[in-house]
C-alpha cells in the first residue's frame, strides 16, 4: 500500500487515487460536474480503459456531466488516443477518459480533454480546479437535462484512417510481418489485434487481449515485466513484438531476438520516420536521450526540451508547430499529424513501415542509431532535501551547463545528469547518460553517492 497521502491526489493534473475509500464515486461525480461546468454544457465524450472500477466511475462521471447539462457520448472501452481523436473529429466540447494509465489496477483517474481532444493545459487545469473547489457548478434543471448516447463503433476507424495517411500501407501489408502483441488486457485489447492483423496485414500472435481479465503483468510496460512477450517473440519467431499500457498510449518494442528496445531508441526511430515525411522540429523532455538530437541534426532540425510530463511536451509542440515529439523513457510517441497525443498505434505503424521500406530487421535499425548508455536511479524523497542535493551536484560538476526548468539537469562534456522529484510518487528520479557504459555508471554512482543513497 502506498503512503496515505498518495492514495488520493486532486490537483492540476486532475483527480487520481485508489478506488474505494479514497477515490469515491461522489468525488468523481463532482469533478465531472466541475468539468461539465467548465466546458459550459455541450457534448462530452466519455470512455475508459479496462480497469474493474471503470464501469462504476463511468456512471459517476456521467451523472456529474448530465447534472451540469452536458450530453454524454459514451464510447466504452477504448485507448486514450482513440478517445482524444474522437473528441476532436466529432466536434465535442470535451472528453474524459477514465484511466490511471500505467498505474497499478487499484488506482484510477480522470484524464481531461478540451474541444480539440488535447489534454487541458496548465491554465485550463488551474481554472477547472478552482471551479471544483468553489463547488460552483452548473446545475441543469429537468428541462435542461440532456441524455446519454452511445457510439462504440466509429472511434477506432477515425483513429486508424488518420494513421494510414502517414504510412505506406501497401508495402507494410505485402510483408505480412510476423508480429507479437501484449495488450496487458487493457483498452488496446479492443482494437490492437484488429489494427495489426486486419489493417496492417500482420500475422499476429497475441497475449493479454481479453478486456474482461485483470492485468497479467505490471501495467507500465517496463523491460523487466515484458518477459512473457519477449519469450513469445523468440519462441514463435516473430519479427517484432509490441507491448502496450492499459490505456494504449505507451508502447514498448521487442526486437526479433526478444530484447526489449530502449524507449529512447524507439522514439528516435519514430523521429527519423516523421522528419523524413514532414517539415518541423522535435520536442522531447529533459530526460530523453541525446540520440534524438543526433537524429534531428541529421535532418537539420531543432530539438526543444521541456519539463517531464506529456502536457508540457504537447504545449511546446503546439508553440513550435513541431513535426514530432515524445517522452523517451515513458514510451510515448506524439505525432501531431495524427493527433497531438501519445499514441502507441502511430508508433507501431511507423516502425513496421520503416522495416518494410528498408527491408531491415528492427534490431539492425536500432543498431544504426548512435549508441548512448543510460542509467536510472530512485532516491526516497524527503521534503527539504532537494535544494541542498542540487547545490551539492552543482559544486561537484562546476563546468556543467545547467537547466533548472524541471529539477536540475547538468550538461557535461561526457553526457548529462537529470534529477527531479516525481509527480506521482515520493521519489527523486535520477537519470544519467553518457557515450560509454562505464561513464554512465560512473555518473549515476556519483549522484547516488552525493545523495547518500
Would you tell me which residues interact with other proteins (CB under 8 A)?
Answer: 18-21, 24-26, 28-30, 33, 51-53, 55-60, 62-64, 66-67, 105-106, 108, 137, 139-145, 147-148, 214
Question: In the annotation, is 101 catalytic?
Answer: yes
Angle between helices 263-277 and 291-298 (to 10 degrees): 20
- Distance of closest approach, residue 209 Cβ to other proteins, in angstroms: 21
- Residue 7 grid coordinates: 492514495
b/e string for 322-334 if b means 16 or more Cβ within 10 A? bbbbbbbbbbbbb
29/334 with CB nearer other proteins = 29
Determine which one of 13, 53, 101, 329 is catalytic: 101
59/297 with CB nearer other proteins = 59
16/354 with CB nearer other proteins = 16
3 state SS of 73: strand
- Distance of closest approach, residue 117 Cβ to other proteins, in angstroms: 23
CB neighbours of residue 281 within 10 Å:
19
- Distance of closest approach, residue 297 Cβ to other proteins, in angstroms: 47
- Distance of closest approach, residue 40 Cβ to other proteins, in angstroms: 15
137/372 with CB nearer other proteins = 137
The residue whose grid cell reads 477547472 is 128
Q: What is the sign of the dihedral through the CA atoms of 379, 384, 390 and 396?
A: negative
b/e string for 133-164 if b means 16 or more Cβ within 10 A? eeeebbebeeeeebebeeeeeebbeebbebbe
Taking the C-alpha atoms of residue 228 and residue 85, their distance in angstroms, rounded to an integer, is: 31
CB neighbours of residue 314 within 10 Å:
22
- Distance of closest approach, residue 347 Cβ to other proteins, in angstroms: 29
29/268 with CB nearer other proteins = 29
Report CA Rg, the chain. 22
Residues recognised as catalytic? 101
Amino acid at each position: 500500500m502506498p503512503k496515505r497521502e498518495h492514495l488520493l491526489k486532486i490537483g492540476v493534473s486532475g483527480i487520481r487515487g485508489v478506488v474505494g475509500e479514497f477515490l469515491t464515486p461522489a468525488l468523481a461525480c463532482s469533478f465531472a460536474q466541475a468539468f461539465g461546468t467548465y466546458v459550459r454544457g455541450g457534448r462530452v465524450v466519455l470512455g475508459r480503459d479496462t480497469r474493474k472500477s471503470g464501469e462504476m466511475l463511468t456512471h459517476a462521471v456521467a451523472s456529474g456531466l448530465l447534472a451540469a447539462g452536458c450530453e454524454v457520448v459514451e464510447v466504452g472501452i477504448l485507448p486514450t488516443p482513440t478517445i482524444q481523436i474522437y473528441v476532436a473529429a466529432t466536434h465535442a466540447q470535451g472528453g474524459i477518459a477514465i484511466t490511471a494509465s500505467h498505474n497499478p489496477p487499484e488506482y484510477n483517474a480522470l484524464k481531461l480533454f478540451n474541444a480539440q481532444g488535447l489534454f487541458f493545459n496548465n491554465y485550463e487545469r488551474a481554472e477547472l480546479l478552482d471551479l471544483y473547489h468553489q463547488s460552483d457548478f452548473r446545475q441543469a434543471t429537468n428541462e435542461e437535462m440532456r441524455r446519454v448516447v452511445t457510439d462504440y463503433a466509429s472511434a477506432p476507424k477515425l483513429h486508424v484512417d488518420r494513421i494510414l495517411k502517414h504510412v505506406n500501407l501497401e508495402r507494410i501489408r505485402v510483408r505480412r510481418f510476423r508480429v507479437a502483441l501484449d495488450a496487458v488486457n487493457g483498452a488496446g485489447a479492443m482494437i490492437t489485434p484488429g489494427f495489426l492483423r486486419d489493417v496492417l496485414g500482420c500475422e499476429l500472435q497475441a497475449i493479454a487481449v481479453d478486456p474482461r481479465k485483470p492485468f497479467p503483468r505490471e501495467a507500465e510496460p517496463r523491460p523487466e515485466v515484458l518477459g512473457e512477450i519477449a519469450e513469445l517473440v523468440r519462441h514463435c519467431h516473430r519479427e517484432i513484438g509490441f507491448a502496450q499500457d492499459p490505456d494504449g498510449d505507451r508502447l514498448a518494442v521487442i526486437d526479433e531476438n526478444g530484447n526489449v528496445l530502449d524507449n529512447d531508441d524507439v522514439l528516435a526511430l519514430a523521429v527519423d520516420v516523421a522528419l523524413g515525411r514532414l517539415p518541423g522540429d522535435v520536442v522531447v523532455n529533459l530526460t530523453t536521450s541525446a540520440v534524438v538530437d543526433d537524429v534531428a541534426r541529421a535532418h537539420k532540425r531543432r530539438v526543444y526540451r521541456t519539463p517531464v510530463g506529456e502536457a508540457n511536451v504537447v504545449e511546446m509542440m503546439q508553440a513550435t508547430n513541431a513535426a514530432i515529439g515524445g517522452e523517451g523513457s515513458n514510451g510515448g510517441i506524439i505525432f501531431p499529424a495524427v493527433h497531438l497525443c501519445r499514441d502507441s498505434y502511430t508508433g507501431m505503424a511507423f516502425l513496421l513501415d520503416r522495416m518494410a521500406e528498408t527491408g531491415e530487421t528492427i534490431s539492425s535499425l536500432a543498431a544504426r542509431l548512435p549508441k548512448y548508455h543510460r542509467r536510472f536511479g530512485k532516491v526516497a524523497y524527503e521534503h527539504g532535501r532537494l535544494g541542498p542535493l542540487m547545490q551539492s551536484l552543482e559544486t561537484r560538476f562546476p563546468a556543467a551547463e545547467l537547466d533548472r526548468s524541471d529539477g536540475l539537469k547538468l550538461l557535461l562534456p561526457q553526457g548529462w545528469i537529470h534529477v527531479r522529484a516525481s509527480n506521482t510518487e515520493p521519489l527523486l528520479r535520477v537519470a544519467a547518460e553518457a557515450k560509454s557504459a562505464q561513464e554512465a555508471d560512473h555518473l549515476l554512482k556519483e549522484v547516488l553517492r552525493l545523495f547518500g543513497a
